[in-house]
Homo-oligomer: A and B are copies of this chain.
Amino acid sequence: MAESLVTERTKLKRIPDRGTHERETIYKILDEGFICHVGFVVDGQPFVIPTGYGRIDDHVYIHGSAASRMLRNLQKGIDVCVTVTLLDGLVLARSAFHHSMNYRSVVVLGKATLVEDPEEKLTALRAISENIVRGRWDDVREPNAQELKATSVLKLPIQEASAKIRTGGPKDEEEDYSLSVWAGVLPFRLTPGVPEVDPKMSVEAAVPAYIKNYSRTPRS
């Protein structure tokens, strides 16, 4: 399947050992993240907007207010780019030039289409919600007809896509290894803090386990 994801536009141009078109690698990154940056063009001007997302099989789903500029434009079937970036660390080399970051990122290109089928729409909203907080959907009130109408859901096929990954320590010039400079990696993680209860809580309800033990472990 991997080859099908490569096109002239997603072909990895530089440092190809950092890049891959493998579907499994791409899905793993998409499933660990939950915020993407969506790029689209209006009157020649690119816009990049952050938003939540979810994946079902070989599609990425995003949602938003039916009234938003992004959703109104995207549902016309224009070209989009969905990028997901996971930052893993800062790479501290002995020279300014060889500083880098460890990261995993995915770029998906294609045309997004509006999800019109009510059942698929609800399934997609659930997938987005579950990707952001697994276990939440079953605890809360589902969207009613009016809320569904106010929400647009778009899907983008994962057909043209690539991943880029950098791992490991700095790679310095041979002569720089003798410099008296600390070198290494400062790892980074997006970590959840202590849950803050809504002061408007009027009922007794414990913090759910999926909040208390929140982590971005890949789904099985």
A19 CB-CB contact with B under 8 Å: no
Q: Which of the residues B137, B139, B196 comes within 8 Å of A185, measured between beta carbons?
A: B196
Is the interface on chain A under 10, 10 to 19, 20 to 34, or 35 or more residues? 35 or more
Give the interface SS of chain A, mostly helix, strand, loop or mixed.
Answer: mixed
Nearest-CB residue, chain B, relative to A97:
B147
Question: Given the interface contacts A46-B41, A48-B83, A190-B87, does A198 sit within 8 Å of B169 by beta carbon?
Answer: yes
User: Considering residues A96, A181, A192, which has the most beta carbons from chain B within 10 angstroms of its beta carbon?
Assistant: A96
**Given the complex, which residues of B lie within 8 Å of A151, measured CB to CB?**
97
Question: Measured between alpha carbons, how far is A147 from B206 in the docked complex, in Å?
Answer: 57
Say yes or no: B67 contacts A14, CB within 8 Å: yes
Q: Is A189 an interface residue (CB 8 A)?
A: yes
Would you call A140 an interface residue if the criterion is a C-beta within 8 Å of the partner chain's C-beta atoms? Answer: yes
Q: A95 an interface residue at 8 Å Cβ cutoff?
A: yes
Specify which of A14, A47, A92 lies most central, judged by the most chain B CB atoms within 10 Å of its CB.
A92
